[in-house]
């Protein structure tokens, strides 16, 4: 890689990181603020800590677990439930990639080298583990809200959990399937 290409690569990476951080901050603030308010105002601190600890433990689950809970073996089920549409609004999604391509028309979000595919595959598991842990925390908190008869809160937390965790989990599974099919074509 020559110096000009390396400088372009660093510029692209810096812009991509900035855009992805903004998307991540937006979705996290929008989604985590309500659960923070619920936990702070209506939940016992000890119970909240127990839920956090249980949820945190799921980060140590092996990849096999996440492969087992995968929704489908092909991308068709993910397309049917709108994961592809959802990808427009996420970090490293269609809107962000489009913004980067406006400045750098030859930009590719995914390079088809084996090392690039393997790195992205690993990243999908990290993202899925994060969202699964947060999903479990939301689910436990929603269950608590139902038990305590906070039905509006339970509905709000259920909707947020679907958007902030369930769809991102499905998105990581969808991306893995696409990467694996790309990797097979490259071999």
Who contacts 101 (Cβ-Cβ below 8 Å, separation ≥6)?
A: 107
Give the residue carrying structure tokens 């399937």: 177
Buried b / exposed e across 3-27, counting CB within 10 Å, b at 16+?
A: eeeeeeeeebeebbeebbeebeeeb
Please report, for residues 36, 97, 156, the alpha-carbon distance to residue 130 in angstroms, rounded to integers and kept in the order given: 17, 23, 21
Do residues 73 and 2 make contact, with C-beta atoms less than 8 angstroms apart?
Answer: no
pLDDT at 167: 96
pLDDT at 180: 87
Low-confidence ranges of the chain (pLDDT < 50): 1-3, 186-187
Per DSSP, 1 falls in state -
């Amino acid at each position: 890689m020559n110096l000009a290409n390396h400088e372009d690569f660093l510029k692209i990476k810096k812009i991509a990181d900035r855009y992805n951080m903004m998307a991540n901050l937006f979705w996290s603030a929008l989604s985590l603020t309500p659960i923070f308010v619920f936990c702070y105002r209506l939940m016992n601190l000890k119970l909240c800590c127990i839920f956090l600890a249980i949820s945190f433990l799921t980060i140590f689950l092996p990849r096999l677990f996440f492969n087992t809970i995968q929704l489908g073996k092909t991308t068709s089920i993910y397309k049917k439930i709108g994961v592809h549409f959802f990808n427009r609004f996420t970090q490293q999604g269609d809107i962000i990639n489009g913004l980067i391509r406006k400045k750098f028309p030859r930009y590719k979000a995914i390079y088809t080298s084996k090392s690039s595919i393997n790195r992205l595959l690993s990243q999908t598991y990290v993202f899925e583990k994060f969202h699964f842990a947060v999903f479990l925390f939301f689910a436990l908190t929603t269950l608590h809200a139902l038990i305590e008869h906070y039905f509006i809160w339970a509905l709000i937390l259920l909707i947020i959990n679907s958007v902030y965790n369930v769809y991102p989990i499905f998105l990581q599974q969808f991306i893995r399937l696409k990467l694996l099919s790309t990797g097979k074509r490259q071999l």
